[in-house]
Amino acid sequence: MCYNQYMQKRKLNVSGYRGVWGETLNEDIVKWYVWAFVDFTKKVTRKTHPTILIGRDGRATGGEIRDIIVKELSKVGVVAVDGDILPTPTVLYSVRSHSCDGGIIITASHNPIEYNGLKFVNNKALFTIEDEVNEIENSYTAYEKGEKQIIEDYTDPEKNIPNFSHEHIDHILLNIDVEAIRARKFKVIADMINASASVMDSYLFEKLGVEFIPLNNIPNGQFAHCPEPIRENLISTMELAKEHKVDIGFVHDPDADRLVVINEKGDVILEEYTIALAIKNVLAKNHGRPVVLNLSTSKMGEDIAKEYGSECFRTKVGEGFVVEGILKHKAIIGGEGNGGVIYPIINTARDSFVGIGLILELLAKTEKNISELLEEIPKYFMKKDKWPIGMDLKDSYEKLKKVFVGAKVDEQDGIRFDFSDDSWVHLRPSNTEPIIRLFGEAKTQERIEELFSEVKKNM
């Protein structure tokens, strides 16, 4: 197994709902969440027959879940647009570009193959935020308990389905320097893990004029390796990148909202560099524009922002919170250190295809390779750890405040301590797993180990 299985208590949050199909996710759960989301959508849009786009990440169970959703939507008077296999960012882009009233994405992101899940998109083409999630959850509970019944009002599914994936790519191409990329004649490898990126990458790289080597490009949900795009899961991908002597490699997660880069030597680079490289490209053209990152993301992006006279704002962990911050601060770019690039000019969502475009553009414009670009970025030693939930974090937070006297404290999501030597640690419960996460960085390995040791002693 990619990591220990866990049995998730049913609860929708800003990252959606995930469970093992047939166990913690089943037909009743899907049905009740669909009804609850429709109630929310009809209330917000004041439409009797709203239009909702459905997309899925390619998992084998996704087709069955899609069929349930389409059937239930038709019962409650919704026009269901079945986009079939679509990356998560493509669904959000398409909800906006086609003025849909909402979207449902069938995905468990980087969870193992036996999982699937639901993510909900509102009529603003944004993931549902905390207040909206609570409203949907309350409605779900009423259906689950039988306190509420649906009012049947049948509609037919939408018949004319646009090419959502090509539309999304075409919009990205309008916002990057395609000719500069074409002129470099890059040789690129991309690992699509047999999931939703498979319906996008060939078209993207064809339009960019690169020599393209596809890996795991059949969208059947049969993951070629553990789906989280981290180095330990990508050994065979790295070997093929070295064998083919590519200029750069890209790895998607199943729903293609996260992007990891392989350098010209065939080595996976830390996923934190994805957003750092994207920020470097965008701010080079937009000096002084704000940047938004979550609290667990590397300081590299913050340092790059300072270099270009830009302010960096921090938010709670979670894509929806980062997007809220981007809109609030009118930021030019933002994202998360797990490989999630959010470039609102193109899409208000983490978007691996936007990340590919921005990084290739940066390589083309600077005429450098990835390793040379990374040498220009301030270096940190990052450490990440996690433990099963089983302790009172509030007590730990109070203990740590007494240990780290003088540090800058941020308590908007768990607790983060920033120190005068540019090191930091962030302790918080996960949004998607029943675990506690600890992230941190320092200028030396010794310093980050020292900080982690102090945190653990006080937990």
Question: Judging by beta carbons within 10 Å of its beta carbon (0-12, 13-18, 19+), is residue 415 exposed, middle or buried?
Answer: buried
Written as one letter, the residue type at 443 is K
Measured from the Cβ of residue 346, the count of other Cβ atoms closer than 10 Å reads: 22
Find the catalytic residue in 109, 296, 310, 423: 109
Q: How far apart are CA 155 and CA 158, in angstroms?
A: 9
DSSP character at residue 347: -
Q: In this structure, are residues 188 and 202 in contact, taking their beta carbons and an 8 Å threshold?
A: no
Give the single-character DSSP code of 91: H
Query: Phi first, then psi: what are they for 299, rounded to 5°?
Result: -75, -5
The sheet that has 408-410: what strands, in order across it? 381-388, 435-442, 424-429, 415-418, 408-410
Please state, in angstroms and rounded to a whole number, the distance separating the CA atoms of residues 209 and 181.
8
**Tokens for 425?**
């640690």
Helices 352-366 and 201-208 meet at what angle, rounded to 10? 20
Nearest CA-CA partner of 253 in 128, 107, 433 = 107
Pair of tokens at residue 222: 């049969």
Cα-based distances in Å from 212 to 205, 207, 225 = 7, 11, 21
- Tokens encoding 355: 């990340």
Residues 25, 164: contact at Cβ < 8 Å?
no
Q: Is 48 exposed, middle or buried (0-12, 13-18, 19+ CB in 10 A)?
A: exposed
Is 139 annotated in the active site? no
CA-CA-CA-CA torsion sign (448, 454, 456, 458): negative
Q: Amino acid letter at 120?
A: F
The helix (run of H) or strand (run of E) holding residue 357 is: helix 352-366
Q: Is 276 exposed, middle or buried (0-12, 13-18, 19+ CB in 10 A)?
A: buried
Residues forming beta bridges with residue 82, ordered by sequence position: 54
For residue 449, the surrounding DSSP H or E stretch is helix 445-457
Q: How many residues does the chain have?
A: 459
User: Which residues does the annotation mark as catalytic?
Assistant: 109
